[in-house]
Amino acid sequence: MNETLVKDQSAIDEVLSKLKLNGTNYGTAIGSDFFSSEETEILDSTSPVDGSSIAKVATTCEKDYHKVIDSAAKAYEDWKKVPAPKRGEVIRQFGNKLRDAKQELGTLVSFEMGKSLQEGLGEVQEMIDICDFAVGLSRQLYGSTMHSERPEHRMYDQYHPLGVVGVISAFNFPTAVWAWNAALALIAGDTIVWKPSEKAPLCGVASQKILAEALEENGYSGAISGLVTGDYKIGELMTADKRIPLVSATGSIRMGRIVGQAVAKRFGKSLLELGGNNAIILTPNADLELSLKTAVFGAIGTAGQRCTSTRRLIIHESIYDSVLEKLKKIYSKIKIGNPLDESNHMGPLIDTLAVDTYLSAIEQAKQQGGKMLVEGSRLNEEGMQSGCYVSPSIAEVKNEYEIVQNETFAPLLYVMKYSTLTEAIELQNGVVQGLSSAIMTSDMREAELFLSQQGSDCGIANVNVGTSGAEIGGAFGGEKETGGGRESGSDAWKLYMRRQTNTINYGLGTPLAQGIKFDL
């Protein structure tokens, strides 16, 4: 099937058919009910792979937005009463439906967003994995018990659902990040309303249909899951909406500031996953073959459009020149083209604006004193006429350059040298973002220092593992201007629930805490 997809556009229509995306009235949804009003505009989902129009998606007007939120709030009143393991059973079935649709949904992710087919399939696997995680979690959601200082008293804490959870996701992971939020929110007893990226709306439509099917087949209201589409204006409605106690937003630091302030203003909760400026420290004690493969995938995987993409490579001075020579040779062999062709390493950027931003960053790096070791350019060869293809770049820079301090969502890798590990860690931490980091070394002392309080200040710190490719079991998120949020594994589920402390007096007396006396 993959060879057919590379050669024949009609195979994409087959994928859409298997995902039940044959209609034209897609956009706003309450469960499996898709609808639009006269006020809505039409969004054209265009593939960066070949510039073709995949489908038309209706955006959500304000009237329809309120209809979705009202429905989700009403559905919450019943959904929160369903025992958590029963909610987990729905998620288990959702995961199985994703397994059945993995090839088609992964292909759609690849074609609409532009990442390689392997990465598209991997994204759907992430959705499946978080479903598996959530199913087990639905039989836990544990609190703690405490010993009371008062006789014949018992104390404990427990967790309750929040209500409607709003999810705003980005184009680079058009389905997985929503699934991280949806699976945990649903087993917690929340309902969800999702605004997928306007740059990959059809992935949102397909995922919504699959989840709604699982809900409705089990006799639950489809309104437990809603979909709203459009640009930042829909996001503004969500962040200002008091009916949404938690807004989970993935995007740029600039966007996060706006969302965080708007939600905090109404005393809501926000879960922010923002920009990354991730570095790998390459020590003289590193396995070079492993390290180079890790660094190159981190830099060009998803065409550098992951929040965990490797942006900076900090190399010890003793191996600096030899590493750069090896890197340049590897980059000369990178295959770029249709991401559905699995022989290619890198597909297109999301759109032509992203290409312009990338080329501008290269020029800024040069103007600020950087030296281009491999200079990327826009590609317009056969099969790459969409205007979204580029070749990757390597730039020798200083960490303090303004362009280096900012995240460029493209395959632009910055290299710099260091002399001591303390200096390398300072360079690694010397940016405002704090998402992912890595050190490549076989020296236990170097590894432990990097992981200590004197080491990486990021939410993710790896040894001999790259900056990208997080597993479901660990909490995902970053510090500083990356937002401080945590999604996915570990105890991230607590963010989707409210904590309540309970004290029970099973005696006949009324002792007060702190020994306070109050007699009548």
CB distance 192 to 181 below 8 Å: yes
In the sheet with 145-147, reading across from the earlier edge strand, the strands are 145-147, 153-161, 497-505
Among 112, 198, 273, 407, the active-site one is 273
For the record, the structure tokens of 506 come out as 């099973």
Q: What are phi and psi of 146, to 5 degrees?
A: -130, 155
For the record, the structure tokens of 59 come out as 């955006």
SS3 (DSSP) at 408: coil
For residue 280, the tally of other CB atoms under 10 A from its CB is 27
In the sheet with 436-440, reading across from the earlier edge strand, the strands are 371-374, 393-396, 412-418, 310-316, 278-282, 436-440, 460-463
SS3 (DSSP) at 372: strand
Q: What are phi and psi of 135, to 5 degrees?
A: -60, -50
User: What are the residues whose beta carbons fall under 8 Å from the beta carbon of 371, sequence distance 6 or more?
Assistant: 395, 396, 397
Rounded to 5°, angle at Cα 340 from 336 and 343 = 50
**Residue 61 annotated as catalytic:** no
Among 61, 131, 203, 307, the active-site one is 307
For the record, the structure tokens of 89 come out as 């059973």
**Residue 273 annotated as catalytic:** yes
Nearest one of 235, 243, 105 to 179, comparing CA atoms: 105
Q: What are phi and psi of 384, to 5 degrees?
A: -130, 40
* Amino acid at residue number 377: S
CB distance 179 to 131 below 8 Å: yes
Residues known to be catalytic? 273, 307
